[in-house]
Structure 1
């Protein structure tokens, strides 16, 4: 039963068709050589009738061999039937030539080795031994016939030796072929398992929420899953021309974190292989990088990066897998919880703190009317100044509680900013030329007017505090660096904020001024976030007062766009 199952199983084995085709081509070559051999014997005066019989048999054998070759190429079905037909024709043709040539003394018995070896490779052992037995019986029968007719050189031992040699050779060849077939079956099964596992891995990686980047040591992106493309706002359209992280300005924070991780000692690189970066998806794409902007409206993405090194003996330089997790949603949830707590806190502050402050301020004003001593007047002024500061801090905190009430109106940015600047000039007695509005096109953004007014006034107040006061010392510049994005820059000619201060700039209650509350910029950023915008302090290349290009700090508001013109 096992042998029958092997025979049936070979019907569907595609890889056996190639050996069968080789078998048919080899048969044609052997037949051609045999015909040449017969023609050579003709020149030596062989029997004419025997020659015609051998020649007709050889030509018929050649035609059938060509037919078998065509069938194995163009009709790849019923493998075992084709093999049995070819073996039967081989044995019949060789037997006819063998008997016509005089039997064992002709030396043609060696031709049987060709079909028997092919049968041992392509057929199960039982079938191969069957054909060997048939050939051995033919050889013995022909030898017995020669002995009965008292042929002088007739010998049955020669046929027995041929049969024994065929049995031994075919058994060895069949066992070797069986081992190769088992190894092939194992390789095919493992290959299918690997293909299935690879398909599962692709499905999991494609559908997982975390992004995956595979990069080389020089930060070249070798692969990316769809989640990573969505997070970065990029589409890796050309897999043959993937760019390096350092070549895409928007992804430079990821490259910096990657190189910082690579520079760490090997024993500590796995201890805390994570970092947090803030990027702007799709901003300032590198030319000829094979990457395209996918039209996302997201203004920024806060990512948690996790690094894992992949090494292999065949790949000495190794690869690094960067896992990207978008923590913006987590931050938004935390922000909602923070706002809820802030709302409860501000309600308590409004009731418990503002009334006592009003009483203290009123009492200080009454005392100031009756005091004439300079020292007492100075102390009362200190009390009044701190009351004003506390009251301003409370007002800033109360503004946070009003964040939930947003009116996303489409604003004409140029006219809106012109009105705010004019109001600010009059309220702070600033020269008209001190604040310069640069390149104000007809940009439209979606932003709550009251919130945007609060943000811009806060930034202008900071700028006035540090600007020189000369003409154009404060510049407000609105432009669109890429499609679907508008930026508003507010900068002054005062000293730039140091990187150390910048890292804490938007933290609540952090201030470098003795008169500040540390809540102005924090409130301004929170208002921007609530209007789908982003406020940050950035160093951009610009012309200095000396006419040289250098990085100059400025506050940058990135807006959500409403029908840009």
Structure 2
């Protein structure tokens, strides 16, 4: 059998829509009323001991006995309300009735209105106005007012006092006004408390739903302040950013999150750019490795994120809160590539036999035909045929190269010397001013990358850069970023317009191109060559400041080399 103490009964006269917490307030108010009653009884006894001469001899005995009985009943009422929470309205009315009787006896014994005890009627009447329905409160007020009028009329007729009927009537009118005012104010407060309790429940439910959604969401959600302080984040965001209880820090205070901090600052200055792609490398930050040791077990080199910023509507509250939505697009990009490669792999063999051989015959015949043509128009047509044959042949070569997994030479490579040789070759083939391609910030670091593969990757990236750069001095830059002993990064940047977020979403997909002369395989092959050398190629949005910044540039291609081996470290 369950012997648990049942919950206290709720006042029956209260509206049914009030919550249990709101109804509990009535019991606390009744206890306050009881405590006040005890204090008033003690004050009346003290008043008797100080100024007993104000009473007649018979009244003196009545006054003392009445005050003592009133103190005893006040203590009984207080204990009953504390230990027996039943019959709220019955307890309230019995207490108010006792108050009216005792005050009326004291009022009569003290000489009526001239005693000044009429003000004591406000105590029970105000309590009744707060805790009882309005009709009961008015009924009790009418009883008190009629008693005062009757007592004044009796004294006037018996010649025991002055004519005070008008004063008694004014007291009664004041009591009615006070009861009405207190009752209306109490009703409004009760309504506001019920509304606040309802809103509290709704807010609690909404917060519970928000916590559930944020905890189960696959995308990361981070709430930040205007200075980039991390205020809240769901588990997905903590995993993407490599955080483990590191909230309260600023984005700029963590080196691995500098790309997000830069993008956030740029978005606050330019709200139109609300979506960017960044690559973060939490595993390179020693502080974060201590906070989240799981990063040390990551097999991938970086986390590629699609970052979207949104401003919360909190300005009317006098504060600024912004939300950063994070989506790890690495898996999405890999899946898109695998889908395309799955279908492309089935075509590789047929392309090699059914397309390459006829294409060679067409190209050879076109070359023979060009030797016998003298007309400029015919020569132009033959040239168009030759160009398209070369383009299709290049596409076939790229497709065939996809199926070849060449084994790189895993030997140290001096990056500065290879870049210097590549610059000389690139300046000559493109007929560039030597100042256009700036390699002054390529430090002499040693990386592990097949030189043939790295040359192919850089030629592809520089070919794209020269297509959009202004060809002004230092409009194309190659520079190394990294700390000695850690993964070095080679950045390729130009002053041309940055790649839009829409194009960035498909940038490394095979056969995706924005150029009418491209095959859509160059960047994909460049990334595959990097992956084949345990490196990573990505396009990152960086917002540089200072004298070395390229005007108008917000993005660049970044090659993150493999971790240096022990023998490569100093």
Normalising by the residue count of structure 2, what TM-score does the alignment of the two structures yield?
0.62
Where does residue 561 of structure 2 map in the other structure? 556
Matched, 1:123 2:124: no
Give the match for residue 178 of structure 1: 187
Specify the alignment match of 2:276 in structure 1. 275
Cα displacement (A) at 1:13: 1.6
SS in structure 1 opposite 2:221? strand
Deviations 1:405-451 (A, max 9, x none): x9xxxxxxxxx99x9549xxxxxxxxxxxxx9999xxxxxxxxxxxx
Please list every run of 5 or more consecutive structure 1 residues that lacks an aligned counterpart in the other structure: 363-386, 407-415, 423-435, 440-451, 466-478, 482-486, 510-516, 540-552, 560-565
Question: In 2 relative to 1, CA 457–36 (structure 1 residues): closer, same or farther, beyond 3 Å?
Answer: same
What is the deviation of 1:128?
0.2
Superposition deviation, residue 143 in structure 1: 4.4
CA contact (8 A) 2:31 2:81 kept: yes
Unaligned residue ranges in structure 2 (runs of 5+):
1-10, 365-388, 413-443, 460-483, 500-506, 512-518, 541-557, 565-570
Give the 3 Å change call, closer, same or farther, for CA 227–67 of structure 1 in structure 2: farther
Q: Deviations over 1:182-212 (max 9, x none)?
A: 3333333333333333333333333333322
Contact 1:136/1:159 (<8 A) preserved: yes
Residue of structure 2 in register with 1:324 after alignment: 326
2:36 counterpart residue number? 26
Residue 261, structure 1, aligned to residue 267, structure 2: yes
1:144-183 deviations in Å (ceiling 9; x for gaps): 6546755354765554443333223212322232233333
Q: Give 2:73's match in structure 1, choosing from 60, 64, 70.
A: 64
1:363-512 equivalence runs, <5 A: 397-401=399-403, 421=411, 456=450, 458-459=452-453, 498-500=492-494
Change (3 A) 1:24 1:330: same
DSSP 3-state at the match of 2:324:
strand
What are the Cα deviations for residues 344-389 of structure 1, in whole angstroms up to 9, with x where unaligned?
4422332145557999999xxxxxxxxxxxxxxxxxxxxxxxx9x9
What residue number does 1:37 align with?
47
Cα distance in 2 for partners of 1:420, 1:141 equals: 114
Deviations 1:272-314 (A, max 9, x none): 42111122355415479x9545557362332222212235445
Between 136-145 and 82-91, the greater mean CA deviation after superposition: 136-145
The alignment status of 1:168 with 2:169, answered yes or no, reads: no
| 1:314-346 deviation per Cα after TM superposition (whole angstroms, max 9, x unaligned) | 555622221222322321221023213432442
Tell me if structure 1 keeps the 8 A contact 2:149–2:169: yes
DSSP-derived class of the 1:276 partner: strand
For residues 108-257 of structure 1, the aligned pairs below 5 Å read 108-143=117-152, 146=155, 151-153=160-162, 157-235=166-244, 237=245, 239=247, 242-257=248-263
- What is the CA distance between 1:120 and its match in structure 2? 1.1
How far 1:112 moved relative to its partner?
A: 1.0
Which moved further from structure 2: 246-255 or 130-139? 130-139
1:56-108 CA distance string (max 9 Å, x none): 32233234334544555666665434432331221222122223334444332
Distance of aligned partners of 1:345 and 1:39 in 2 relative to their CA distance in 1, 3 Å threshold = same
Distance 2:16 2:312 in 1: 45
- 1:334 to 2:336 alignment: yes
Corresponding position of 2:309: 307
CA distance in 2, matches of 1:230, 1:25: 57
More deviation in 113-122 or 168-177?
168-177
Inter-partner Cα distance in structure 2 for 1:316 and 1:161: 51
* TM-aligned CA distance change 1:400 to 1:148, over 3 Å: same
> What's 2:464 paired with?
none
Asked if 1:86 corresponds to 2:95, the answer is yes
Would the alpha carbon gap of residues 464 and 124 (structure 1) be closer, same or farther in structure 2, given more than 3 Å must change?
A: closer
> In 2 relative to 1, CA 152–506 (structure 1 residues): closer, same or farther, beyond 3 Å?
closer
Number of equivalences: 442
Distance 1:72 1:345 in 2: 89
Query: Contact 1:249/1:286 (CA < 8 Å) preserved in 2?
Result: no
Summarize deviations over 1:104-137 as a string: whole Å, max 9, x none: 4433222111111121122220110121122234
Contact 2:526 2:537 in 1 (8 A): no
Q: Does 1:95 align with 2:104?
A: yes
**Bigger Cα displacement from structure 2, 521-530 vs 340-349:** 521-530
State the SS of the aligned residue for 1:13.
helix
C-alpha separation in 2, matches of 1:438 and 1:279: 22
- Higher strand proportion: 1
Q: Distance in 2 between matches of 1:323 and 1:77?
A: 54
Residue 21 (structure 1) shift: 4.0
For residues 238 and 464 of structure 1, what CA distance do their matches in structure 2 show?
38
